[in-house]
Each structure stands twice: as structure tokens, then as C-alpha cells.
Structure 1
């Protein structure tokens, strides 16, 4: 059976950086992957206006997803003002029912960025709503209810309060280089917005986690230890 994975980030680029290498690996193994950004991340450029950067971010997110073989969805919520409401959770739950993922990846629940914390809570709420019997909830009723078996929190330098890895996913060379080739086309990842060297940081982090896990490279996630999680990690 083909695995289906949904990665939900607060902004375009969040899941590209943190879950991107794992998504590239899973796609190479035959999985279907979708990246969802709850906001474009349009307020993250010191020189471009939000409307200008929104267009750039959407183009970069689409290009990244295409390069690793994933689908891409961006919702039209406002960067820095992502609401933690049932309306947004229902939007996500509808996508979960449509895509029928067996694995969901999102932010850790504690962060220096409120949008990230909201994304984590919204993802958990959406997972719950997608599995409920529903009636009279609009587009949610258009698809059969669905239970997501595996729920993972990706490692993000902004979301480290209380984060403890419970699993490591080995990242083979082909997936790593596919990720590098894709992520380097995002301006913020190259350090062109506020100077943080995201690509260098996450490349070094994969090496560090690989040392701990016994692989050349690995990505760390937090989840309850279940048989499905073990399968995701793989040999």
C-alpha cells in the first residue's frame, strides 16, 4: 500500500526545511506527499512589501514541492496572525479527509513563534475532527472520515522548548541532494532575508542527528513510539 504523508507548516518554507529531507526520502520510496502552508509567510522580508514577498514565497513553495515530487497547498491566512480557531482546523480537516494520509508532520507545540504553536494545535485539532462522524459542516462532509495513524513533530530551531527526539529517520544521499537542490532556491533559506544560514544549520543538524542514530544523516522527530513510527524510520 502506498504511504501518504501530509506536512503542515505555519509558513511556506517551514516544512520544506524541517521535514523536506524526509519527504524527499519517502517520495523516492513511492509515497505520496503534500506540503501545506497555513500562511504564505509574506511578512518575512525586510525589503519587499508583504504583497511582493507573498508572490515570491508562493512561487518558491510551488517550485520546492515540484522538485521533490510533492503536492503543495497554501492557505490564505495572514503571516503573524494565524488564528487558532475551529474554522481553520476544519479547513485542514477537509484536506486530511481528501488526502487520506497515514502520517501527519507538523511543528512542535512550543515555539518562540506563535504561528508555529498555533499550527501544531490546529493540526492536532484537525486530526481529531477528520476522524469524527460529521453532518452539516460544509466541505468536511464531502469526504469520508479518516483517522491519521502517525502524528509527528519535526525538529525546528525556533521550536526547541521541551523538544526531545523519539525517532530518527535516516536520510540517504539521493534524498539529501534532492532536498539541497530544491531548498537553495528559497531566498530566506539562503540567508537573504535576515541572514540566518538555514541550509547550513539544517545540513549540520542532519549530520549531528545521524551521528546519534548511527547513519550518515538523519532527521529527528517527536512522536509516541508506535509500530507505525518505527516503519517510517525504516532501515
Structure 2
């Protein structure tokens, strides 16, 4: 059972695209979901200043989370400069202790984006620290499942172990929400992100025997999981 899920991305929008359909599915099945962005992703607009784009990205991230029925947080690190340190991991571990997620979803370990690779390492460290006995005001928490989601910039050596079927109601909830993000529409870098992830879900669905599916990597071992709440 997946009663609570935490999706952690390097930038606002990373988990919205790659894990968003899975989160929408789980929310519709009764789970609680929270999206955490370690940085706003504020340096990716060709015309807006980082301060201006940060404001836009935060508003878009909040709107997306609300539209799929999730909560949203963004931490105070800067795009391109996310450190892979215990300080970041401890901050995230506190969120894990507070939110008590059964499942954590994050980036794959290898990426063309350094922030993504740092996020994957920070998440693994945070999961360990969240279950470590400490002098902490919040109780320790053991995450039951860690999943690495499939992101367009994190494809090196990615080989799925599980497929999450995405029903129509979750897919259309995701599409309705994600189309309000400027970068997802391709307005910042010209890449048609929504088309890409829609096609990816169709392809993974063909492999898994569903109309649509999202692929994930489970470090605990190969399986084909329906991942339901």
C-alpha cells in the first residue's frame, strides 16, 4: 500500500513531468502526495532574469501540485549550484520524518544535469538519515520504497524494473495540470516535453501490456509493479 508518497526533483517541474502521472494516479486512489523541488530551476528562461523566472516557476509548481491534488515545497538552493552535502540531506531528512512517506520517488543516478545527479544522491542519503536515531524533535522514519523515475535528461544506463499503469483519469488530470507550465510547453528551450512524456507513456505501456505506463527503477530488485495506493 502506498498511503503517502514524496517526489523529490532537482528543479521545479522535474517530478511534475516524470513522476506526475504516477502521483496523479496514486492521489486518485487515495494516497497523499508531496512534490519537493530542491531548487526552483530559475536559470532556464531565455528572456526572464533568474529572480523573475523563480517567481513564475514557484507559481507554476504550486498550481500543478494543486491541480493533481498534491502538496508542494521548494527549498532554497539555486539551480546549477545544488550541493551534494549532508546539510541538504539533513534538511530533506527532516521533511521525510515530518511527512512519513511510504515511497520516495526521485531522479535516476546518472544524468546530463549535475543537479539531478546530486538530487539522487541526496535523496538516498536523506532516507538513511531519516531512519537514523538522532537527537531530533521528529520521530525517525523508515521509507519502505525508493523509486527512480524516468526523466529525459537522466537516461544513461536507465533500465526499468517496474511499470506503473496510468489510467485515463490520471493521465488527463496530469495533462490538464502540466500544460500550464511554460517550459513543459516548450516555450523556454523549444523541447516538446509534454509530447515526449505522453509518447514515452505510450511506449512503456506497450512494453508492459497497458494502454499507458511509467517506467521506474527499484534498487531493491527487478519486478513488475502495479504501484497502487
TM-score by length of 1: 0.94
**Cα distance between partner residues in 1 of 2:37 and 2:61:** 9
Where is the helix percentage greater, Structure 1 or Structure 2? 1
Q: Find the counterpart in structure 2 of residue 64 from structure 1.
A: 64
Runs of 5+ in structure 2 lacking a partner?
Answer: none
Q: Find the counterpart in structure 2 of residue 4 from structure 1.
A: 4
**Cα distance between partner residues in 2 of 1:184 and 1:72:** 18
Matches within 5 A, 1:33-182: 33-135=33-135, 141-182=136-177
Q: Find the counterpart in structure 2 of residue 188 from structure 1.
A: 183
- Residues 21-51 of structure 1, C-alpha deviations (whole Å, 9 max, x = no match): 0000000000000000000000010110000
1:163 Cα deviation (Å)?
0.5
Runs of 5+ in structure 1 lacking a partner?
Answer: 136-140
- Residues 42-90 of structure 1, C-alpha deviations (whole Å, 9 max, x = no match): 0010110000000000000000000000000000100000011100000
- Any conservation in 2 of the 1:209–1:217 contact (CA below 8 Å)? yes
Q: Find the counterpart in structure 1 of residue 217 from structure 2.
A: 222
1:230 Cα deviation (Å)?
3.3
**Cα distance between partner residues in 2 of 1:208 and 1:230:** 17
Q: Which runs of 4+ in 1 moved over 4 A?
A: 225-229
Whether 2:216 is the aligned partner of 1:232: answer: no
**Cα distance between partner residues in 2 of 1:84 and 1:195:** 30
**Cα distance between partner residues in 1 of 2:194 and 2:182:** 11
SS at match of 1:143: coil
**Cα distance between partner residues in 2 of 1:4 and 1:78:** 27
**Cα distance between partner residues in 2 of 1:2 and 1:16:** 18
Identify the match of residue 207 of structure 1 among 180, 187, 202: 202
Q: Which moved more, 1:217-226 or 1:155-164?
A: 217-226
Higher relative contact order (CA 8 A, sep 6+): 2
**Cα distance between partner residues in 2 of 1:85 and 1:195:** 33
CA RMSD of aligned residues (A): 1.6
- Any conservation in 2 of the 1:167–1:233 contact (CA below 8 Å)? no
